[in-house]
Structure 1
Amino acid sequence: MTRLRAGLRDLSFSTGEILLPRSIKTKGPMGALRRAASHWARDAFVLSYPKAGRTWFRTMIGYIISRQYNLALDNPMEIQHFWKLSSRIPNIGFTHDDSPNLKFGAEVETDKSRYAAKRILFLTRDPRDVLVSYYFDAKNRMKVIDCSIGRYLREERGSIDAIVAFYNAWAQARSRVRAFHWITYEDMHVAPRRVLREACSFLQIPEPDDALLDQAVEFASFENLRKIEMSDGFKHERLRPADPANPESYKVRRGKAGGYVDYLSEDEIAFVDEYIARHLDPFFDIYQRPSVRDRVKSEPGLVG
């Protein structure tokens, strides 16, 4: 079935590129059909909430694939297109799935049945760090909010309620897909080579040797990615500052685990900690404050 899918995928792509003008390929019924066909043809998906470390991860994985298959590429982040260069390369999609950052928590989609036949690599980061990093992205790059972080925290779309709802949706759906593998931003800091080796195995990418793992980690280091962004080295909006004079507008902003403490007040941290304790699925227990979780659990009728 995999070989048949790859053959149909390659044939339809080649035919569409040759015969169809761009206006038809990307819009209307034909555009919808192509998106559906693209989803069907994917071997796996890497899913994450925005600002969970996807740029970092996809750069490392893309670097590994490009070296394994001798691809001459200026931008290793564009992994979702690599299959067009060789049918031997897995067709991996990268998506934030349902754009939860543009919704309130109650609006986040819970039906993940469209992924039932797919391999899902799920990338998470501490919701507190996601909250702060996305705030700056939404304000300075996307420009979809213009308010204080305190107001964003309690009143705007894409805040802690949306982050937790997105994590919870996938905690519940993880057993209903073909295969599920969870990695964290924090583990990528602590043990990047192990995370990459396991991710390659899951995504059915040839196992990289130690030297290639070291090269990928070095290439995607914070310092190097920041240099690439400042020089527009990838020639792509994915890695380009909205305002070079504003360090908070960079895609590669700080690359720090636990950096939320520099931006949230004690009261705001307490609010987020309690929200997580009350609402986050136990599957993601690593993001709990045990003292807050235990206190909440001891208060009848307050969990849920």
Structure 2
Amino acid sequence: MTMRTMLRDLSFSTGEKILPKSVKTKGWMGSLRRAASDWARDAYVLSYPKSGRTWLRTMMGHMILRQYGVETDNPMEIQHFWKISSKIPNIGFTHDDYPNLKFGSEVETDKSRYSGKKIVLLTRDPRDVVVSYYFDAKNRMKVIDCDMEHYLRHERGSIDAVVAFYNAWARNRTGPRGFHWITYEDMHADAAGVLRSTAGFLGIPEPGDKLLQDAVQFGSFDNMRKTELKDGFKHERLRPADPDNPDSFKVRRGKAGGFVDYFSKETIEYIDNYIDENLDPFFARYKRKTDMSAKAEQTPSRDSASD
């Protein structure tokens, strides 16, 4: 056990035993305990909102709980698993700077605070991201009230913010202790393979084929939709805003390439041109026009900065 882990666990266990709830979760003491946990994080899973993070968390959580023989009510709460067993890596999940609340020009470009961490970056086709985020912002968060065309060109969190967020990580990917890129599209093609590679990168024990299959099934669209309908995790993270409105569900469609159902040909041309002209070549798989130098980096893999 590392010194960081020992100090983290001491801070947490002491607080649980001697501090009243009104103190240990609020004010300077609550801030101190959260800072100690962040300091001792082994890794972070980062993504732009609506990139498949809930799906990934559900599969990973189910897998990790069974690997370590522990139980919890909500398998998505992986960031708290270390409190159950200090053997489990301390993995944080964050949207990192909440770029969905910003215009592209406002998105943070300095990622130096992650220099000592392992980073798993989950991405999704920016076209699908803006569609999915639009419905989430309108029907769940209720922070916008406009049509999709207006949102695409004039609102915060649209295509310019997605591209700026991806570009920031393309340029900072060698800064962390390790960098592992996975995609929503590859999870659709081979969810078990993505889980296996991510587990290896994070230092989680090798999952057997049966466990991987169970995790994939547990995180399947049909199972997650049923769980959301019955509020199975008892958490707002997987609960519809309006059970009568399919577009208000967290698990809405689970489709790759579904953006074509919402945009006109002219709008798709606008988005494609924006991506082609502005997205870093590291993410060339999301461009229409790629050159040979960019294609070498199209496939997500464990970056050379990994250990």
The bucket for the TM-score relative to the shorter chain is over 0.9
Alignment CA distance shift 1:196-1:100 (3 Å): same
Maintained 8 Å contact 2:40/2:90: yes
Distance 1:281 1:202 in 2: 24
Distance 2:10 2:29 in 1: 16
Alignment CA distance shift 1:109-1:63 (3 Å): same
SS of the residue 1:208 aligns to = coil
Partner of residue 40, structure 2: 41
Q: Which stretch shows the higher mean deviation, 204-213 or 262-271?
A: 262-271
SS of the residue 2:212 aligns to = helix
1:253 shift after superposition: 0.2
SS of the residue 1:56 aligns to = helix
1:91 aligns with 2:84: no
Query: Residues 1-304 of structure 1 correspond to what in structure 2 (within 5 A)?
Result: 3-290=2-289
Percent identity between the two aligned chains: 70
Distance 2:213 2:255 in 1: 20
Distance 1:209 1:32 in 2: 39
**TM-superposition CA deviations, 1:135-159 (whole Å, max 9, x none):** 0000011111110000000000000
Partner of residue 305, structure 2: none
Distance 2:70 2:264 in 1: 47
SS of the residue 1:175 aligns to = coil
Distance 1:225 1:211 in 2: 20
Equivalent position amino acid for 1:248 in 2: D
Q: Which stretch shows the higher mean deviation, 230-239 or 71-80?
A: 71-80
1:28 shift after superposition: 4.1
**TM-superposition CA deviations, 1:86-130 (whole Å, max 9, x none):** 111101000000010000111111111110000000000000000
Equivalent position amino acid for 1:164 in 2: V
1:191 shift after superposition: 1.0
1:163 shift after superposition: 0.4
SS of the residue 2:121 aligns to = strand
Maintained 8 Å contact 2:11/2:33: no
Distance 1:80 1:283 in 2: 28
Distance 1:35 1:267 in 2: 47
SS of the residue 2:200 aligns to = helix
Distance 2:272 2:283 in 1: 13
Q: Which stretch shows the higher mean deviation, 69-78 or 279-288?
A: 69-78
Maintained 8 Å contact 2:48/2:123: yes
Distance 2:73 2:80 in 1: 13
Equivalent position amino acid for 2:239 in 1: R
Gaps of 5+ in 2: 292-307
Matched positions, count: 291
Equivalent position amino acid for 1:45 in 2: Y
Distance 2:149 2:21 in 1: 43
Distance 2:189 2:125 in 1: 14
RMSD: 1.3
Gaps of 5+ in 1: 295-304
SS of the residue 1:182 aligns to = strand
TM-score by length of 2: 0.92
Maintained 8 Å contact 2:182/2:194: yes
Equivalent position amino acid for 1:230 in 2: L
Deviation >6 Å, runs of 4+ = none
**TM-superposition CA deviations, 1:69-101 (whole Å, max 9, x none):** 122223211111110011111010000000100
Distance 2:106 2:94 in 1: 18
Equivalent position amino acid for 2:57 in 1: R
Distance 1:229 1:21 in 2: 33
SS of the residue 2:140 aligns to = helix
Distance 2:212 2:30 in 1: 38
